[in-house]
Structure 1
Amino acid sequence: MSHVVVIGAGQAGAALAAKLRALKFEGEITVIGDEPAPPYQRPPLSKAYLLGEMEEERLWLRSADFWAENRITLKLGQPVTALDPAARSVTVGDEVLVYDELALTTGSVPRRLPAEMGGTLGGVHTVRTLADIDAIRASFAPGRRLVVIGGGYIGLEAAAVGRKLGLEVTVVEMAPRILQRVAAPETSAYFRKLHAGHGAAIMEGMAVDRLLGESHVTAVRLTDGRELPADFVIVGVGIVPATALAQAAGIALDNGIRTDAQGRTSAPHVWAAGDCASFPLNGVQMRLESVGNAIDQAELVAANIMGADRDYLPKPWFWSDQYDCKLQIAGLNLGYDRVVTRPGDGEAVSIWYYSGERLLAVDAMNDPRAFMVGKRLIESGRTAAPDLVADVATDLKTLMR
C-alpha cells in the first residue's frame, strides 16, 4: 500500500489530502503540521477572529471526524526536522516516515523587523498564525495606541480592526503610497480615503528607523526623527515562502520551491503547492499568495499524483475586508498600462486593468457584479472594451455576450 506524506497542514495541505480521498486514493495519507491546531483558514484571523466574532472551531477547515473517517493521519505540533529525498523519508521528532510520494505545502512566513531595529521587543507582532492572533487579541483595547508598519492588505486589515475597537491607529508605509506593490493608484486612493474617514492616520513615503523601548516597545522612531508613541506594533511587511526544509534537502528554489507545470519539484516523487511553490506561467516562475491558489494548485497536485497528467492553469482571485468595504480582486494586474474606473451603486466602485485592449484584472470595492463579470471574462480569455466599461450606461451583463 502506498503512502503519501504531506508536509504543511494549512489550506493547501488540507485540500491536497482531502482531494486524494475524493479521487479514491486508498493508500496511507499523513499530514504533518508544526502548529498544534488542526488545519484552519487564515483569512478570518485578521478580521472576524481578531474582532471576537468567530470562535476557533469555526476556523477549522474540516471537523475532527472528517480526518478520522477519511483515514488521514494528522501529526500536529511536530515540525519536520529532516527530509531525505534519496531515501524517500522525513524525520518528525524521533520518528522516521517513509513515503512513496511527498507533497510540500509548507506555506509562507511573515517578514519581521531585525533585532537591531527592535524587532524582538515585547509588543511587536506579526499577523499570520492562530498563535499570533491569540497573543495579540488582549492588546486591542479602546484607547491603546497601535502603530502598523506596512500598508499592504494585512496591515490595513489590522488597522481597520483597531479602529473598529476604538484604538488610536497609525499606518506607516515606506513606499510612496499604500498598496503600491499590488494595486493601481486609484485603488490606493480609495483605501486611503476609507481609512482616513474612520480616523486612522496613514503616513506614506515614510520609513522606520527603529523601535524604541527597553524590553517592551514604547514608540516607533521614523527616519525623519519623529517618534510615534506605541503600546504595541504590528509588522505587516509581506511574507516569504517557507523553503528552508526544501533547500536543506537540495530541492531547487526559484521564487519559492520550483515546480514544473504539474507541480513536480526537482526531486523525484516530491511535489509542492500553495504559497511555498512557484510554477511556470508566461515564461517566469509565478507564486500566488491566495486561498484560491492554495486549493486549486493542491487539488491539481493530488490529481497528478493519481496520474492525471494535467498542467496548472491558475484562475487568480483574492479578497480583503476593511470596515464595511469588501474588496474582491479577479485576475493579475501585472503589466497593465491603462486603468478604467467605473462607479457602481452608492459608494461602490471598480478598477479595471488593461494591457492595450486586453483586460487583465478587476478590483471591485463593494461591487460584486463588477467582480463576477470581470472574473468570468478573464477566466474565459475574453475582454471588454475600456470605453464600454467606463460608460455607466453600459449594463455589465451585456459584456458577457
Structure 2
Amino acid sequence: MASDSIVIVGGGHAAAALCASLVDAGQGHRVELVCAEDVLPYQRPPLSKAFLKEAAEPLQLHKDGSWFAAQGITVHQGDRVVEIKRDSKEVMLSSGRRVGYGHLVLATGTRARQHPELSVALDNVFKLRNAADAQLLRHHLHTAAERELVVMGGGFIGLEVAATARQLNWSVHVLESASRLLARALSPELSEFILQHHNAMGTVVDLGVSIGGFNVQGRTLTDIQVAGAPRKTSSLLLSIGAIPEVELAAQAGLQIDNGVYVDRQMRTSDQDILAIGDCTSFDYRGARIRLESVQNANDQAKVAAATLIGSATDYQPTPWFWSEQGGLRLQMVGLWRPGLAVVPRAGTTPASFSLFHYAGDELLAVESANAPVDHMWARKLIEAGRSPSFDLVADRDIPLKSLL
C-alpha cells in the first residue's frame, strides 16, 4: 500500500525533535508518531533530579496534545511497534493496527541494562530509564521507612540519583567496579573531583569492588555480596549502563553495529528507513560511535528532517553533554580519550575550573565544572576548529572569547 507518511517509532527526545523539525518544514501532516509509552514525549534529564526530588513535580512534555493535533500529527500512544514489514512498507503495532509508511524513522532509544542475577522484578530494586521507572523510584524515595540506598554503578544516572537521594536525606552507598567514576567518559582529573564532591555530600563510594551475588526473600532483595562479604540492602538502584534498542531493526534485517548503523544523512542500510538518537551508531572522526545525549538527539533529528524533505546534509557533530549532581554542574564538549594532554584553567571559585584536552596541538575536548561561561566559549572554539596554545587557555585573565 503506497503511502507518503513519515512514521516515527519512539517517544523520546529525538522523536520529539524530529516532529518539531518536520513541522517547521511544513510536513507535520505527513507524520505518524508511535509511542510505546502511554504518554506524550517528555524531557528525560529531569527524571534523575527535580522529578525525583519533588513529590508533585510533573513530567515536562516537549509539546502537549493540542500541539500535535494542530500540526496534523497522528499520535499512537501506548502502542508498541512489534514488526517492520519492509516489503510492504508497513509497521505492525501491538494493538493489531497496520501503519503504512513512505519513510520510517527509528528513534527507539535505549533500555536499562539488567543484571543477569536480578532478572525477576523485586519490590526494592529499581532502574531509571523512563517515566514509569521514575515514578516508582520517586514514590519509594518519599515513602520508604528505611532510607538507605545502594547504587550499583558510578555512571551519570547513578551519580545524579545518588546526589538527589542525599538531598532527600537518604544515606547513599555507590558501588563501582571500575577503578574510578565515569572512567569511560571523563578524564581521571575530573573523576577525582567528582568523587570528592560526592564524598563531601556524605555519599560513600567504593571503587574497584566485585559484586558476587544477591540474596532474595520473596520479592525483596535482602543483601548483596560485596568483595565476598554480605551487605544488607534495603533499596538498590541498578545503574549499570544502557543497551540500544535495536531488536526491531535487527529483526527487519537492518545493519547493526553497537546500535542501528546509519550514514551521515541518518539513513540505515534500507534507504527508506532512517534512525536517530541514542539507538544509532555513526561515524565520528573516523570511528563508529554511539552517543546518549540531548545534543545528539536534537542534531540528528535536524539532519533526518533534511533528508526526509529532500535537502540531505551530512551530520558533522560537535558532541556536548552535561550532568547535574547536587550542586555540581558538569559540562563537556568533544570526546575525551586516554592519552590526551590536559591543560587546567582555573574558574571563578575553587570549585570552578575547566580541563582542556589536546592531541598534540589540536584541541579535542574540554571538561568544565561549575564553569558555564567557559563551557560556552569552549564549544565555540571546538566548533570553529580553533586550538589555542596551552599557555593561552591556562591563563584565567585571557577571555576565551578573545581566542576565537
Q: TM-score range by the shorter chain?
A: over 0.9
Give distance in 2, aligned partners of 1:13 and 1:336: 36
Structure 2 counterpart of 1:38: 40
Alpha-carbon distance in 1 for matches of 2:223, 2:345: 41
Cα deviations across residues 78-111 of structure 1 (Å, max 9, x unaligned)?
1111111111000112111111111000011111
Which string of whole-angstrom CA distances, capped at 9 and with x for unpartnered residues, describes residues 241-282 of structure 1? 100000011111012000111011111310000001112223
Alignment of 1:38-117 (within 5 A): 38-52=40-54, 55-57=57-59, 59-92=60-93, 93-114=95-116, 116-117=117-118
The residue type paired with residue 254 of structure 2 is I
Listed as ranges, the matches of 1:157-176 within 5 Å are 157-176=160-179
Task: Quote the residue 2:258 is aligned against.
Answer: 255
Moved more, 164-173 or 206-215: 206-215
* Secondary structure of the structure 1 residue equivalent to 2:47: helix
Q: Which moves more between the two structures, 248-257 or 337-346?
A: 337-346
8 Å CA contact retained: 2:363, 2:382: yes
Partner-residue secondary structure (3-state), 1:66: helix
Query: Aligned equivalents of 1:76 and 1:220: distance in 2?
Result: 38
Contact kept in structure 2, 1:104 and 1:270, CA below 8 Å = yes
Match of 1:135 in 2: 136
Amino acid in the other structure paired with 1:356? G
Q: CA deviation at 1:389?
A: 1.9
Shift of 1:329: 1.0
Equivalent in the alignment of 1:351: 355
Which amino acid in structure 2 is aligned with residue 186 of structure 1?
Answer: E
Q: Give the equivalent residue in structure 2 for 1:149.
A: 152
Q: Are 1:285 and 2:288 counterparts?
A: yes
1:297 paired with 2:300, answer: yes
Q: Is the 8 A contact 1:336 1:353 kept in 2?
A: no
How large is the RMSD of aligned CA atoms in angstroms? Answer: 1.6
Give 1:395's match in structure 2, choosing from 385, 396, 399.
Answer: 399
Q: Which moved more, 1:103-112 or 1:136-145?
A: 136-145
Give the drift of 1:388. Answer: 2.1
DSSP-derived class of the 2:278 partner: coil
* Conservation of the 8 A alpha-carbon contact between 1:35 and 1:77: yes
SS at match of 1:313: coil
Between the aligned partners of 2:28 and 2:379, the Cα distance in structure 1 is: 36
Q: Which residue of 1 aligns with 2:389?
A: 385
* Alignment partner of 1:28 out of 27, 30, 43: 30
Structure 1 equivalent of residue 334 of structure 2: 331
Q: Which runs of 5+ in 1 are unaligned?
A: none
TM-score, normalising length from structure 1? 0.95
> Matched residues in 2 for 1:46 and 1:204: separation?
22
- Aligned-partner Cα distance in 2 for 1:337–1:272: 32
- Aligned AA (1:152): G
Find the counterpart in structure 1 of residue 240 from structure 2: 237
Q: Distance in 1 between matches of 2:293 and 2:37?
A: 20
CA distance in 2, matches of 1:140, 1:91: 38
The alpha carbon displacement at 1:118 in A equals 6.6
Name the SS of the counterpart of 2:129 in structure 1. Answer: coil
**Aligned with 2:180 (options 177, 183, 200):** 177
Aligned to 1:200: 203
User: Structure 2 unaligned runs (5+)?
Assistant: none
Deviation at 1:336? Answer: 4.7
Instruction: Tell me the TM-score normalized by structure 2.
Output: 0.94
Q: Which secondary structure state, in structure 1, belongs to the residue aligned with residue 297 of structure 2?
A: helix
SS at match of 1:217: strand
- Amino acid across the alignment from 2:355: I
The answer on whether the counterparts of 1:146 and 1:231 sit within 8 Å (CA) in structure 2 is yes
Q: Partner residue of 2:189?
A: 186
CA distance in 2, matches of 1:323, 1:303: 38
- 1:205-236 deviation line (CA, Å, top 9, x unaligned): 112112222121122211x2222222111111
How many residues align? The count is 397
Give the CA deviation at 1:4.
0.7
Q: Structure 1 residues 26, 273: closer, same or farther in 2, change over 3 A? A: closer
2:300 partner SS: helix
Contact persistence 1:5–1:31 (CA under 8 A): yes
In the TM superposition, residue 139 of structure 1 has moved relative to its aligned partner by 2.0
Q: Structure 2 vs 1, CA of residues 342 and 303 (structure 1 numbering), >3 Å: closer, same or farther?
A: same
Contact 1:143 1:166 in 2 (8 A): no
Identity of aligned residues (%): 37
Alpha-carbon separation, structure 2, partners of 1:110 and 1:292:
20
1:283-342 Cα offsets, whole Å, 9 max, x none, are: 322211101110110121011110012111112110111111111111111365211222
Which residue type is aligned with residue 216 of structure 1? T
- Distance (whole Å) between structure 1 residues aligned to residue 382 and residue 202 of structure 2: 36
Give me the whole-angstrom Cα distance separating, in 1, the residues matched to 2:324 and 2:238.
18
Secondary structure in structure 2 of the residue aligned to 1:213: strand
Q: Distance in 1 between matches of 2:223 and 2:91?
A: 44
Letter paired with 2:310: G
